[in-house]
Amino acid sequence: MRSESPALGMTEGTEPGATCDNHLFLSVRTYEDLLSCDEESDNSLQDNQELHEEAGQSLHNWQLGQLSKPLNKLVLEQVDEENFEGNEDICQEEGGEENFDVKDGVTCKPLNSLEELDFSVRTDDQEALQENDVPRSPGQRNRASRSSASSRDSQDVMSEAWWSLNKHVFVLSEAGKPIYSRYGSEEALSSFMGVLLALVSFVQAGKNIMRSIHSDNHTVMFLHRGPLVLVSVSRSRQSEQQLAQELHYVYNQIISVLTITQLNKVFKAKQNYDLRRLLGGTERFLNSLLNLMQQDPCFLLTAVRCLPLPSSVRDSVSQSLQQARAKDLVFAVLLAKNQLVCMVRMKDQVLHPTDLHLLLNLVSGSTSFREGEVWTPICLPKFNPEGFFYAHISYLDEACTLCLLLLSTDKEAFFTVSDCKRRVLARLCKHDLVHAVQLAMDKDSYSVSQAGVPDLQHFIYKCKSTSQFTSPEMDAPYNSTEQRERLFGLYQQLHSRIHSASRPLKLIYHVWQFETLLAWVTAGFELYTCFSPLVTKAAAIHAITKLLRWIKKEEERLFIMNPLTF
Amino acid sequence: MALRELKVCLLGDTGVGKSSIVCRFVQDSFDPDINPTIGASFMTKMVPRNNEIHKYLIWDTAGQERFRSLAPMYYRGSAAAVIVYDITKEETFHMLKTWVKELQHHGPQNIVVAIAGNKCDLVDMREVQTELAKNYAESIDAIFIETSAKTSINISEMFEEISKKIPCVEPCTNDRPSFKLRPLQLESSSSRCC
């Protein structure tokens, strides 16, 4: 519901947590920004009507399982461009619209020029196994052990249990080569991926772009970026934008490993390249990214969570990080348990929160940084999708909780940067700061009760200008995983409604069964609050005023207020 | 006591156990679920030997294909390269041969090469015969040894062999000077200093 916003006169730059001009991160309003800066493909999107609008109601009733045989004949051997162009013509000649009769369960006339592969989407296990016997590409030298394991996986693939999983994510190449599947082996899913590509190419042939398919229970989201097609099939109640944002993150994660230059290069050289060769070991990070997105609001908000720390400690830590001054060293980042402790950057260079999320995921997704000092290339797609940074990654304490990342542009600078690390650590130890930060980490971040606002059960506050957010521990009743996920789901819904592209709102007050939620978005901040169900509207609005005052009072502790540069 | 720095890098296919070997040597520990190395990991280990202290500077590289192009950065400054294969996987032995070729063409001259057949505790699953590997190693004048990081067989022996074969007075190579910056210190064996 709409309501007048409480008159607090908060403008951008004066909200709690806002600093002067010296920002650590690019200020990102919300994911609209992320999606709007896409390349050429999105412009053409606007010219064309979205598929599900065009096809109208009928598509809404389209169950995934209804994808049946006829469509399968529209097959996907677009190994070279010419062939593909050819398909387009045929589609048009034969009357694309007639072909796309969704009510009858999607029928398309078989295209004579194309090889007819006979597969159905919901194969039973035996069929899936047969699919699995399709000869593999030569690039699978290292996969002997994996494919023997995959024959076991393939029995799970397409099973009821597999279908009922909450969110599937698939990545495939434009030639239909499977690249990644969140669950089940890619080999076992190759025919299914073929169907996904068929959908994308079919719609593309009609000069449209496939964005999403909606059914009662599922949303199928498509994203076609460069040579990659990303698809998610989810049961969650997330909005299209949120699902698209997740796919963008998956895409960015892949870019962070390869750079866009390398990605385009390999596919230009060989269109049916098996990208898994180059991505080897990245599945782990894609999995952890997808899991993290299900529980950490930082992705939803495109903001960074800071470790609550007395400002004096944080400032000293920043000064210590400043010791890591070296030529070509661009960012020094200190992370603790998926939270940012502080960051020092080269003058005039800012980091996009999305890039920091990828760094968080890198550190939390692998234990291989625990030994020694790691030196690895990493691309930060929002900073520059074409080049690598070289990251020096090491833990500063025995318990491996405090992780220092030093990002340099010089490939050969390991020993210089390693020396920087020693200087930083020496200074941190001298002032006993490692211990001070550990202390802050050991106790729970903070409890909502500290804000002293009655009936308030939880909140998330994002300061827009600095792209930082804060939220208390999830105390009772949100101390079980299910309850946490439920609350996060509510926040997601709230977020999607308040940021709805067609009808953005400023304030939402919503009474659910177990709680009352109030979300408020202004030029300066976004606030999502969760109250007990019995709260009144007037009390809730009074409460958030009080909460904002508390955040303002605590801002020095909750946010990075004095970011430093080298 | 004199301090002698020995720069060693480990090469080889993914999953053969390079990190496990280093982990066993440096920390004397073994993790069966070790994560694949990202990029490369740098570690040091001090070993007293006779009248000297041997300080190993070890580059443990990632075996995955996407990191292949970075390998020269690590072996260029090394006095020795350990190329590891997995005795239970024949293709890793083929991969080893490509590494040897790469070192011969692009590696520093006089680099000491050691060939390590890892996972020698898994005798039942052996695919690469000892004789075959040994003959190959002899043909390229490399140290050959079968190791097991899991059961700690021949790990420190291998590093000792390497130290014997590395000439005492190192020929002047075009190392980056930064390689020698480490101060003389007799701290704990691991590189972590806190």
pLDDT tens for A495-512 read 999 998 888 889 999 998
A282-285: long-range contacts at Cβ-Cβ below 8 A with a sequence spacing of 24 or more? Answer: A282/A180, A282/A253, A282/A254, A282/A257, A283/A180, A284/A365, A284/A366, A284/B35, A284/B36, A285/A253, A285/A257, A285/A361, A285/A362, A285/A365, A285/A366
Most A CBs within 10 A among B38, B92, B190, B193, hence the mutation to make, goes to: B38
B114 phi and psi, to 5 degrees?
A: -120, 135
For residue A275, pLDDT over 50 is answered with: yes
Q: Which of A11-15, A306-310, A442-446, A476-480 has the highest mean pLDDT?
A: A306-310
Residue B190 in any domain: the answer is no
Average pLDDT over residues A99-115: 32
For residue A211, pLDDT over 70 is answered with: yes
In this complex, how many residue pairs, one in chain A and one in chain B, have their CB atoms less than 8 Å apart? 103
Angular region, B168: left φ>0, alpha ψ -120 to 50, beta rest? alpha
Q: Which of A99-103, A183-187, A454-458 has the highest mean pLDDT?
A: A454-458
Residue B193 in any domain: the answer is no
Q: Spell out which residues of chain B touch residue A145, defining contact as CB-CB under 8 Å.
A: 89
Q: What is the pLDDT of residue A257?
A: 92
How far is Cα A215 from Cα A219, in angstroms, rounded to an integer? 6
Q: What is the pLDDT of residue B149?
A: 92
The pTM of this model reads 0.79
**3-class state of residue A196 by DSSP:** helix
Confidence of residue A27 (pLDDT cuts 50, 70, 90): low
Q: How many other CB atoms are there within 10 angstroms of residue B131's CB atom?
A: 8
How far is Cα A398 from Cα B192, in angstroms, rounded to an integer? 8
Residue B194 in any domain: the answer is no
Q: Could A141 and B19 be called an inter-chain contact, meaning their C-beta atoms sit closer than 8 Å?
A: no
Burial of A287 (0-12, 13-18, 19+ CB in 10 A): middle
Q: Spell out which residues of chain B touch residue A393, defining contact as CB-CB under 8 Å.
A: 38
- CATH code at position B162: 3.40.50.300
Chain A touched by B174 (CB under 8 Å): no
Q: Could A281 and B60 be called an inter-chain contact, meaning their C-beta atoms sit closer than 8 Å?
A: no
Q: Spell out which residues of chain A touch residue B66, defining contact as CB-CB under 8 Å.
A: 257-258, 278-280
Q: How many other CB atoms are there within 10 angstroms of residue A75's CB atom?
A: 22
Q: Could A377 and B64 be called an inter-chain contact, meaning their C-beta atoms sit closer than 8 Å?
A: no
Q: Is the peptide bond before A178 cis (omega within 30 degrees of 0)?
A: no
Helix (H) or strand (E) holding A256: helix A240-258
Q: Spell out which residues of chain A touch residue B78, defining contact as CB-CB under 8 Å.
A: none
- Out of B14, B65, B73, the one facing A411 most closely (by C-beta) is B73
Q: What is the pLDDT of residue A28?
A: 55
For residue B190, pLDDT over 60 is answered with: no
The answer to whether residues A436 and A396 touch, using CB atoms and an 8 Å cutoff, is no
Q: What is the pLDDT of residue A233?
A: 92
Q: Which domains does chain A have, with CATH numbers?
A: 55-296 (3.30.450.70), 309-443 (3.30.450.30), 448-558 (3.30.450.190)
For residue A471, pLDDT over 50 is answered with: yes
Q: Spell out which residues of chain B touch residue A419, defining contact as CB-CB under 8 Å.
A: 178, 181
Percent share of chain A, pLDDT over 70: 73
- Out of A280, A376, A398, the one facing B65 most closely (by C-beta) is A280
- A76 versus B146: which is more confidently predicted? B146
Q: Spell out which residues of chain B touch residue A411, defining contact as CB-CB under 8 Å.
A: 70, 73
Percent share of chain A, pLDDT over 90: 40
- Out of A279, A374, A416, the one facing B39 most closely (by C-beta) is A374
For residue A37, pLDDT over 50 is answered with: no
For residue B182, pLDDT over 60 is answered with: no
Q: What is the pLDDT of residue A417?
A: 93
For residue A83, pLDDT over 50 is answered with: no
- In this prediction the ipTM stands at 0.84
For residue A59, pLDDT over 50 is answered with: no
pLDDT, chain B, mean: 85
Average pLDDT over residues B154-177: 73
Q: How many other CB atoms are there within 10 angstroms of residue A443's CB atom?
A: 9
A406 phi and psi, to 5 degrees?
A: -120, 120
Most B CBs within 10 A among A371, A376, A423, hence the mutation to make, goes to: A371
- Two tokens at A522? 């202004």
Query: Which residues, numbered 57 to 116 in chain B, qualify as contacts with chain A under a Cβ-Cβ cut-off of 8 Å?
Result: 60, 62, 64-67, 70, 73, 89, 91
Q: How many other CB atoms are there within 10 angstroms of residue B78's CB atom?
A: 26
Q: What is the pLDDT of residue A140?
A: 38
Q: Could B27 and A371 be called an inter-chain contact, meaning their C-beta atoms sit closer than 8 Å?
A: yes
- Out of B36, B37, B181, the one facing A415 most closely (by C-beta) is B181
Sign of the CA dihedral running B85, B91, B97, B100: negative
The maximal CA–CA distance of chain B, rounded, in angstroms, is: 47
Residue B153 in any domain: the answer is yes
Tell me the residue type at B36.
P
For residue A3, pLDDT over 60 is answered with: no
The answer to whether residues A101 and A197 touch, using CB atoms and an 8 Å cutoff, is no
- Two tokens at B36? 């694949």
The DSSP result for A445-504, as a single string, is S--GGGG--TTEEEEEEEETTTTEEE-----TTS-SHHHHHHHHHHHHHHHHHHT-SSS-
Residue B51 in any domain: the answer is yes
Q: What is the pLDDT of residue A441?
A: 85
Q: Could A142 and B60 be called an inter-chain contact, meaning their C-beta atoms sit closer than 8 Å?
A: no
Q: What is the pLDDT of residue A164?
A: 82
Lowest mean pLDDT among A66-70, A302-306, A446-450, B176-180: A66-70
For residue A334, pLDDT over 90 is answered with: yes
Confidence of residue A236 (pLDDT cuts 50, 70, 90): confident
- A133 versus A23: which is more confidently predicted? A23
Q: Spell out which residues of chain A touch residue B34, defining contact as CB-CB under 8 Å.
A: 367-368
The answer to whether residues A237 and A227 touch, using CB atoms and an 8 Å cutoff, is no
Confidence of residue A252 (pLDDT cuts 50, 70, 90): very high
Q: Could B192 and A376 be called an inter-chain contact, meaning their C-beta atoms sit closer than 8 Å?
A: no
Average pLDDT over residues B160-188: 58
Query: Which residues, numbered 205 to 264 in chain A, qualify as contacts with chain B under a Cβ-Cβ cut-off of 8 Å?
Result: 257-258
The maximal CA–CA distance of chain A, rounded, in angstroms, is: 77
Beta-carbon contacts of A342 under 8 Å, excluding residues fewer than 6 positions away, are A314, A317, A318, A321, A334, A560, A563
Confidence of residue A295 (pLDDT cuts 50, 70, 90): confident
Chain B touched by A147 (CB under 8 Å): no
- Out of B14, B37, B70, the one facing A368 most closely (by C-beta) is B37
Query: Searching chain B, which residue's CA lies closest to the CA of residue A414?
Result: B178
Confidence of residue A11 (pLDDT cuts 50, 70, 90): low
How far is Cα B167 from Cα B6, in angstroms, rounded to an integer? 10
Helix (H) or strand (E) holding A555: helix A537-558
Q: What is the pLDDT of residue A21?
A: 62
Q: What is the pLDDT of residue A446?
A: 86
Residue A449 to residues A439, A470, A475, Cα–Cα distance (Å): 21, 15, 9
For residue A88, pLDDT over 80 is answered with: no
Confidence of residue A64 (pLDDT cuts 50, 70, 90): very low
For residue A377, pLDDT over 50 is answered with: yes
Residue B188 in any domain: the answer is no
Radius of gyration of chain A (CA): 25
Confidence of residue A546 (pLDDT cuts 50, 70, 90): very high
How far is Cα A270 from Cα A398, in angstroms, rounded to an integer? 46
For residue B12, pLDDT over 90 is answered with: yes
How far is Cα A78 from Cα A180, in angstroms, rounded to an integer? 20
Chain A touched by B185 (CB under 8 Å): no
Confidence of residue A388 (pLDDT cuts 50, 70, 90): very high
Confidence of residue A395 (pLDDT cuts 50, 70, 90): very high
How far is Cα B191 from Cα B194, in angstroms, rounded to an integer? 9
Q: Could B64 and A281 be called an inter-chain contact, meaning their C-beta atoms sit closer than 8 Å?
A: yes
For residue A137, pLDDT over 60 is answered with: no
Q: Could A397 and B194 be called an inter-chain contact, meaning their C-beta atoms sit closer than 8 Å?
A: yes
Confidence of residue A287 (pLDDT cuts 50, 70, 90): very high
How far is Cα B16 from Cα B85, in angstroms, rounded to an integer? 6
Q: What is the pLDDT of residue A84?
A: 33
How far is Cα A12 from Cα A9, in angstroms, rounded to an integer? 10
SS (H, E, C) A150-187: HHHHHHHCCCHHHHCCCEEEEEEECCCCEEEECCCCCH
Beta bridge partners of A329: A408
Query: What is the tens place of the pLDDT at every residue in B36-83?
Result: 999 999 999 999 988 888 999 999 999 998 898 889 989 998 999 999
Instruction: Give the residue among A202, A246, A181 at the shortest CA–CA distance from A54.
Output: A202
Residue A500 to residues A31, A135, A504, Cα–Cα distance (Å): 11, 46, 5
Chain B touched by A362 (CB under 8 Å): yes
Q: Spell out which residues of chain B touch residue A418, defining contact as CB-CB under 8 Å.
A: 42
Q: What is the pLDDT of residue A85?
A: 34
Chain A touched by B42 (CB under 8 Å): yes
Q: What is the pLDDT of residue A394?
A: 94
- Two tokens at A4? 């007048």
How far is Cα A68 from Cα A121, in angstroms, rounded to an integer? 7
- Out of B26, B27, B39, the one facing A375 most closely (by C-beta) is B39
Instruction: Identify the residue whose tokens are 């006591």.
Output: B1
Percent share of chain B, pLDDT over 90: 62
Average pLDDT over residues A344-373: 91
Q: Spell out which residues of chain A touch residue B37, defining contact as CB-CB under 8 Å.
A: 368, 374
CA distance B120 to chain A (A): 18
Sheet of A304-305, strand order: A304-305, A468-470, A456-463, A525-531, A516-521, A507-511
- Two tokens at A240? 């299209």
Q: What is the pLDDT of residue A327?
A: 86
Instruction: Give the residue among A23, A566, A22 at the shortest CA–CA distance from A327.
Output: A566
Query: Searching chain B, which residue's CA lies closest to the CA of residue A399?
Result: B194
Q: How many other CB atoms are there within 10 angstroms of residue A465's CB atom?
A: 20
For residue A204, pLDDT over 60 is answered with: yes
- Out of B14, B36, B194, the one facing A396 most closely (by C-beta) is B194
Residue B20 in any domain: the answer is yes
Q: Could A391 and B39 be called an inter-chain contact, meaning their C-beta atoms sit closer than 8 Å?
A: yes
Query: Which residues, numbered 478 to 537 in chain A, qualify as contacts with chain B under a Cβ-Cβ cut-off of 8 Å?
Result: none
Beta bridge partners of B117: B85, B146
Q: Spell out which residues of chain B touch residue A422, defining contact as CB-CB under 8 Å.
A: 193
Q: Spell out which residues of chain A touch residue B91, defining contact as CB-CB under 8 Å.
A: 141-142, 144
CA distance B125 to chain A (A): 13
Chain B touched by A374 (CB under 8 Å): yes
Q: Give the domain range for residue B117.
A: 2-183
Q: What is the pLDDT of residue A18?
A: 75
CA distance B176 to chain A (A): 9
Q: What is the pLDDT of residue A119?
A: 30
Residue B171 in any domain: the answer is yes
When divided into structural domains, chain B yields a total of: 1
Query: What is the tens place of the pLDDT at every residue in B98-144?
Result: 999 999 999 888 899 999 999 999 989 999 999 999 999 999 999 99
Confidence of residue A10 (pLDDT cuts 50, 70, 90): low
How far is Cα A504 from Cα A511, in angstroms, rounded to an integer? 19
- A130 versus A235: which is more confidently predicted? A235
Query: Searching chain B, which residue's CA lies closest to the CA of residue A263?
Result: B66
Confidence of residue A474 (pLDDT cuts 50, 70, 90): confident
How far is Cα A178 from Cα A192, in angstroms, rounded to an integer? 9
Q: Could B73 and A377 be called an inter-chain contact, meaning their C-beta atoms sit closer than 8 Å?
A: no
